[in-house]
Amino acid sequence: MKRRAAILLAASALAPAAAQTPATPRPNIVLIIADDWGFSDPGRYGSEIATPNIDALARQGTSFANFHVAASCSPTRAMLLTGVNAHKAGLGNMPETIPPAHRGQPGYNAMLAPGVTTLAQRLKRAGYATLYAGKWHLGHDAADLPTARGWDRALALSQSGADNMENKPNRLLYERADWTRDGKTARLPRRFYSSTLIVDEAIAQIDSVQGKPFFATLGFLANHIPLQASEADIARYQGRYAAGWTALRARRAAGVARAGLLPAITPVVMDSTRDWQALDAAERARWARAMAVYAGMATAMDREVGRLVAHLKASGQYDNTLFVFVSDNGAEATNPEANRFTTFNARLQYDLASERQGQPGSFTYIGASWASAAASPLRGFKFSAWEGGVRVPFILSLPPGLRQARGQVATAPAHAVDLAPTLLDLAGIAGRQGLEGRSLVPALIDPAAAVHDAAEPIGYELSGNAVLYQGPYKLVKNLPPYGDGAWHLFDIMADPGEARDLAAADPARLAAMQAAWADWARANQVLPMPPGYSAPQQIQDNATRDLLPGRLAPMLASLWLLAVSLWVGRRWRRR
């Protein structure tokens, strides 16, 4: 009842500004999806990384302290762009991490399910021009690309990532970079920078729209591996990370508290965090350089966001544009040099020299220790169901004509599926059929307002890592290597760092939430993971299966030709 009253109050507060009249047209919408940014990576969220343009959106809007997504790319994008959970949307697992036995099962399409309505389709029916630029990762066949799912125009990358400076793939996973323009193979410049390319495309698309509002989605590749940035952007952070990841994790936790996003807490020291002091000088220099590349890449993306904002101001469109900024999951912890095989493959495909990190032809990554710092003060990172994997920065900034508690922090739990109903509300579009999420409008008016009822169970599962949210409580299970496979219980409002497990102290709540999760899993046809499954190993197995035949074929052909030549040579000599 209280939640209903809050929604009615918020709706009445917005109504005068949002009424659809010629004087108050529907707002333009810009959705900015960052890739693999940790919770405390933007400056507004307590970071040392310079993100002045994203921070400016936060000052003019609302920053959410408790916004949850999936722990990897595709499932999050599916939820953001459909308003339903990832299993229902067809992305119960990411294509790169799905075990072969699951592929094609209900909810495991590895692409958007055919019957799911996208946010673009809903907005297009209401008269919006729908535009897409950047990473898609929700299907690669013509019927699964953006222009087949409601977007009018699209420059889209169907894969998880690619080179940021050349039209080349991430060669550890793919044979070619699958960029398309309006459903057909795209021709890209010989040299470019991904963030600049995406904003160039978005500006061109926006400028082509006449007489209607636009919905522009920008899927940045920053900061997905391989990490790359200009030397000028990297140099900005020279020496900044010399004290190491544990020191950064402590500084970030203090920054988050100063920003008013979370209470001051001592961040958990994770088992995956190495002892910085035990590294030799060369290793410390190498890892410090990698984090400087990461920071430089984020700053470069922010600069491109600023260029887009400046263009909208110059064209007179800024004052009727709302902006959303969100990361698709926590920071990436994958280490391509984790074992002999992956190390051999990485060195075969890329230049891994320390001094070359971030440059063309290099493959730079930050690994688990820096990834945990990027999520500070939370536990975990990408792929894990700990808060550091699923709680991300989320900023919503409305045009001046729509009322909002600007510069404030919304503290109530919110989720990726809430974005679609929120944007439909703000655009004055009726019809919520099929949507699971709740509108965030109450939290934009009153940052302390609840979005979901305290008793409402909200389920989640990805690669065997599972969560049930209910009010302030979180039931969570992580398979190895991210956890012990057992259920744990936390009050994430009081304990966002997941340091105090309540499972033993509150067995009744534990059992009730386990039963609620089981009900949700059955309703969404969640499949158990094969014995011994781990997401990092499955990525390697799937990549080996997909790439090895094509890469072995030329080698085998060469060996065959050599064998034939030797045989012919012997026959000739015998004559």
Q: Which amino acid is at 214?
A: F
pLDDT of amino acid 21 = 41
Helix, coil or strand: residue 431 = coil
Fold of 457-523: Arylsulfatase, C-terminal domain (3.30.1120)
Q: Does pLDDT of 556 surpass 70?
A: no
Per-residue model confidence (pLDDT) at position 35 = 98
For residue 467, the one-letter residue type is V
Residue with tokens 């709680």: 391
Average pLDDT over residues 416-431: 96
Element (H, E) at 395: strand 391-397
pLDDT of residue 558: 61
Q: Which two tokens stand for residue 335?
A: 């280490």
Q: What are phi and psi of 24, to 5 degrees?
A: -130, 80
Q: Per-residue DSSP letters for 205-262?
A: HHHT--SS-EEEEEE--TTSSSP---HHHHHTTTTTTTT-HHHHHHHHHHHHHHTTSS
Q: Which of 59, 27, 31, 56 is nearest to 319 (CA)?
A: 27
Question: SS3 for 92?
Answer: coil
Task: Give the model's confidence band at 560: pLDDT under 50 very low, under 70 low, under 90 confident, else very high.
Answer: low
In this prediction, residue 266 carries a pLDDT of: 80
pLDDT above 90 (res 507):
yes
Residue type present at position 439: S
Instruction: Map tokens 């391989």 to a residue.
Output: 226
CATH homologous superfamily of 2-445: Alkaline Phosphatase, subunit A (3.40.720.10)
Residue ranges covered by each domain of the chain: 2-445, 457-523, 534-575
The three state secondary structure string of 443-495 is HHHCCCCCCCCCCCEEEEEECCEEEEEECCEEEEECCCCCCCCCEEEEECCCC
Q: Cα(486)–Cα(504) distance, rounded to whole angstroms?
A: 12
Q: Please tell me the distance from the alpha carbon of residue 138 to that of residue 123, in angstroms, as a whole number.
A: 19
Burial class (CB in 10 A: 0-12, 13-18, 19+), 344: exposed
What is the average per-residue pLDDT within 250-273? 90
Task: Name beta bridge partners: 64.
Answer: 394, 410
- Is the pLDDT reported for residue 247 higher than 70? yes
Closest CA to 367 of 458, 463, 450, 287: 287
Catalogue the active-site residues: 73, 137
Residue 236 phi, psi (nearest 5): -60, -25
Cβ contact 354:506 at 8 Å: no
Which region among 119-123, 268-272, 423-427, 563-567 has the lowest average model confidence (pLDDT)?
A: 563-567
Q: What is the pLDDT of residue 521?
A: 98
- What distance in Å separates the CA atoms of residue 30 and residue 131, rounded to the nearest whole number? 9
Instruction: Check pLDDT > 50 for residue 156.
Output: yes
What DSSP designation does 355 have?
G
Q: Are 199 and 218 in contact (CB under 8 A)?
A: yes
At 460 the pLDDT is: 97
Q: What is the pTM of this model?
A: 0.93
Which pLDDT value is given to residue 253? 96
pLDDT on residue 342:
81
- Alpha-carbon distance 304 to 327, whole Å? 16
The mean pLDDT value for 156-164 works out to: 97
Closest CA to 220 of 315, 143, 308: 308
Position 550 scores a pLDDT of 62
Cα separation of 335 and 129, whole Å?
40
| CA within 13 Å, CB half, 428 | 18
Percent of the chain with pLDDT over 90: 81
Which pLDDT belongs to residue 338? 80
Split at pLDDT 50, 70, 90, the class of 368 is very high
Q: Label residue 10 by pLDDT band (50, 70, 90).
A: very low
Q: Where are the beta strands (DSSP E) in 317-369?
A: 321-327
Residue 376 above 50 pLDDT? yes
pLDDT value at residue 25: 87
Q: Which of 317, 63, 79, 49 is CA-nearest to residue 202?
A: 317
Give the three-state DSSP class for 414. Answer: strand
As a whole number of angstroms, the distance between CA 477 and CA 486 comes to 6
- pLDDT for res 545: 81
Average pLDDT over the chain reads: 92
Residue 206's Cβ-side half-sphere holds a number of Cα atoms within 13 Å equal to 26
Is pLDDT above 50 for 43? Answer: yes
Smallest Cα–Cα separation from 174: which of 157, 190, 186, 187? 157
Q: What percent of the chain has pLDDT over 70?
A: 91
Lookup: tokens for 240: 């900044």
Looking at per-residue pLDDT, the higher value among 401 and 528 belongs to 528
Residue 575 pLDDT grade (very low, low, confident, very high; cuts 50, 70, 90): low
Tens of pLDDT along 515-545? 999 999 999 999 999 999 999 889 888 888 8
Q: What confidence tier does 265 reach under pLDDT thresholds 50, 70, 90?
A: confident
In angstroms, the CA 143 to CA 79 distance is 19
Confidence at residue 271, expressed as pLDDT on a 0 to 100 scale: 80
Q: Which two tokens stand for residue 544?
A: 């080996």
Q: Is 544 exposed, middle or buried (0-12, 13-18, 19+ CB in 10 A)?
A: middle
| Other Cβ atoms within 10 Å of 515 Cβ, number | 12
385-to-28, 184, 212, 374, 521 alpha-carbon distances in Å: 34, 36, 40, 16, 16
549 contact partners, CB below 8 Å, separation of at least 6: none
Q: Has residue 487 got a pLDDT over 90?
A: yes
pLDDT confidence of residue 548: 62
**C-alpha–C-alpha distance, residues 303 and 282, integer Å:** 31
Dihedral (Cα; 119, 120, 125, 129), 10-degree rounding: 140
